[in-house]
């Protein structure tokens, strides 16, 4: 019987974080639940491909676009369920059992989030993520979304968007995404570089614009334009 979960990781020059991220993934092998690890790359020029090869991952390539990369990874997946994991996000101990428990009930889900940084501002942003996920029904991709391929097919597949693809999926799966239990740990690098208040306000502004109908490509350009000053 085929193991039920494929882990899909979109990558682009991800070597600095990837090896740390991959370690906990293999808990799924020990649990008999991980069918395959898929790295969907957007044109890395560093050692990401070498790390993928050493890890025995399925390697998928194409143009850079996080939504498009994830969609290509899902298209290559052979298992019935996919766990979409960012390259700088670390799964919690026991993640396989948590996913299996929800999978048997047919529930898609997400993990809560913590940063690899301690401090008051990190805790405040984490509480905002908790509120956004539970009260607004909008978990982000860095919370490791877990969903069946059948569910994705029912809502038209994973959107090829450069940004806000995770919000789009959350909206399409409204009421079907539940907390999986436990929390992932993700990188706080952008917050440390730009400032917690600056980055937090930037993220919120982009979310509001997207919910009001802004073009995701314009939001992507805005997000990746270095702040002035």
The tens digit of pLDDT for each residue in 164-193 reads 999 999 999 998 999 999 999 999 998 998
Geometric angle at alpha carbon 61, from 57 and 67, rounded to 5° = 100
Note the pLDDT of residue 228. Answer: 55
Q: Is 228 a member of any domain?
A: no
Report the CATH number that the domain containing residue 11 is assigned in CATH: 3.90.550.10
Flag residues of the chain having pLDDT under 70.
226-229
pLDDT digits (tens, 9 = 90+) for 121-141: 999 999 999 999 999 999 999
> Pairing state of beta strands 145-148 and 81-84?
antiparallel
Decide if 152 is inside a domain. Answer: yes
Do β-strands 177-186 and 89-90 pair in parallel, antiparallel, or remain unpaired? antiparallel
Q: Going by C-beta distance under 8 Å and a sequence separation of 6 or more, which residues neighbour residue 45?
A: 13
Question: What pLDDT, on a 0 to 100 scale, did the predictor assign at position 226?
Answer: 61
64 secondary structure, DSSP code: S
Within-domain flag for 207: no
Domain-embedded: residue 208: no
Total domains present in the chain? 1
Identify the pLDDT of residue 182. 94
Distance CA 215, CA 168 (A): 12
Contact criterion met (CB below 8 Å) for 196 and 122 = yes
Q: Is position 71 within any domain?
A: yes
Which two three-digit tokens encode residue 63?
A: 């143009």
The predicted pLDDT at position 224 comes to: 79
Task: Sheet with 145-148: list strands edge to edge.
Answer: 58-61, 34-41, 5-11, 81-84, 145-148, 108-115, 177-186, 89-90
pLDDT the model gives residue 221: 87
Report the Cα 222 to chain-centroid distance in Å.
Answer: 20
211 falls within a domain: no
What is the CA angle 168-221-184, rounded to 5?
50
Is residue 179 assigned to a domain? yes
Domain membership of residue 27 as a residue range: 5-193
In a domain, 206, yes or no: no
């Amino acid at each position: 019987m085929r193991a039920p979960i494929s882990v899909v990781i979109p990558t682009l020059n991800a070597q600095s974080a990837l090896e740390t991220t991959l370690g906990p993934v293999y808990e799924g092998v020990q649990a008999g639940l991980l069918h395959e690890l898929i790295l969907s790359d957007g044109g890395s020029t560093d050692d990401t491909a070498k790390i993928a090869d050493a890890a025995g991952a399925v390697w998928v390539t194409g143009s850079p676009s996080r939504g498009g990369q994830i969609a290509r990874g899902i298209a290559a997946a052979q298992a019935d369920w996919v766990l979409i994991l960012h390259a700088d996000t670390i799964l919690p101990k026991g993640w396989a059992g948590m996913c299996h428990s929800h999978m048997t009930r047919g529930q898609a889900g997400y993990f809560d989030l913590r940063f690899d940084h301690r401090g008051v501002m990190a805790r405040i942003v984490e509480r905002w993520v908790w509120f956004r996920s539970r009260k607004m029904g909008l978990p982000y991709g860095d919370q490791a979304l877990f969903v069946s391929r059948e569910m994705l097919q029912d809502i038209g597949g994973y959107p090829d968007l450069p940004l806000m693809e995770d919000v789009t999926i959350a909206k399409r799966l409204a009421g079907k995404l539940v907390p999986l239990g436990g929390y992932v740990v993700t990188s706080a690098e952008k917050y440390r570089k730009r400032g917690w208040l600056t980055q937090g306000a930037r993220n919120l502004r982009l979310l509001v614009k997207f919910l009001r109908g802004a073009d995701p490509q314009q939001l992507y350009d805005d997000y990746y334009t270095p702040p002035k000053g």
